[in-house]
Structures are given as structure tokens and as C-alpha cells.
Amino acid sequence: MHEMSIALAVIGQVEEAAGRAGDITAVREVRLQVGELAGVVPEALSFCFELACAGTVLEGAELVTDFVPGRARCAPCAHEWAVGMPPLLSCPRCDGGSTDLLSGRELQIVAVRWEDGRTPAPTREPIPEER
């Protein structure tokens, strides 16, 4: 199932980030951005995520998905519209095909909330981001 592969990719990346951060004892929440055109069903993803987290540092973590509606803009006539599902990607006003997709393809881990073994202190240790 597609969403299982996506869930495993999310878990793998969070595990790696946790490994880099060091002494992460539990992940509480993973925040995802899922675009309308990302080809992912959020409910199915949540289901797979919960299953796949078992036995990892993410066990019990909540997956919060921020839905991003698809929006497009026509380059020639500047009309902007919600693409909908199934998406309409040619301009409904001038029928032009040179459309810019403004949003809707997002599929990214925005943030995580986790517990580390450190005691609260003013020193902040940066976590390197992967690019």
C-alpha cells in the first residue's frame, strides 16, 4: 500500500533526525504538510503511521496533517483559482495552459515534538536539517 511506504519514509526521516539530535527518548508528535495533489490520503496515512511506529522511538506519536489546498494561477490572464479534485489545471477563464501551480503538491515533515533526556536549560543545541 502506498501510504505505508510514505509512513515508513516519514518514520525513517524522523528516526534519523532523532539520531542526529541524540538522547531522544520519545517522539510525541509529527507534523506533516499534505497537499491536495500530493497523491496521499491522510486517513490512510495516519492508519499506516500508527502501525509502523510500533517498536520505534515514535511509538505512540501523533501524526498531525496540515492539509494544503491546491491553487493555481494563469500566467497570461492572472486568474487564480482553487484547482479542486479532480484538479482543473488549465485556466477556466482563458483556457490557457501556462498555469503556475501555487500550492497543492506539498508532502513534507514540517516539525516534530519530542522528549530528550536533557534538563531544561537555556543552552540550545541546534539540530542540523537535512537538505
SS3 83: coil
Three-state secondary structure call for residue 115: strand
Residue with cell string 543545541: 125
CA atoms within 13 A on the CB side of 18: 23
CB atoms closer than 10 angstroms to residue 26: 14
CB of 32 to another protein, least distance (A): 7
Query: Is there a binding annotation on residue 53?
Result: no
Give the residue with the Cβ less far from Zn ion, 22 or 96. Answer: 96
- Enumerate residues 87-116 that contact Zn ion by CB under 5 A: 91, 93-94, 96
Q: Who contacts 41 (Cβ-Cβ below 8 Å, separation ≥6)?
A: 3
List binders of another protein among 26-85 (CB under 8 A): 28-29, 31-33, 37-40, 62, 66, 68, 72, 85
Residues in contact with another protein by the rule CB under 8 A: 1-2, 5-6, 9-10, 12-14, 17, 21, 28-29, 31-33, 37-40, 62, 66, 68, 72, 85-90, 96-97, 99-103, 105-116, 118-120, 124-131
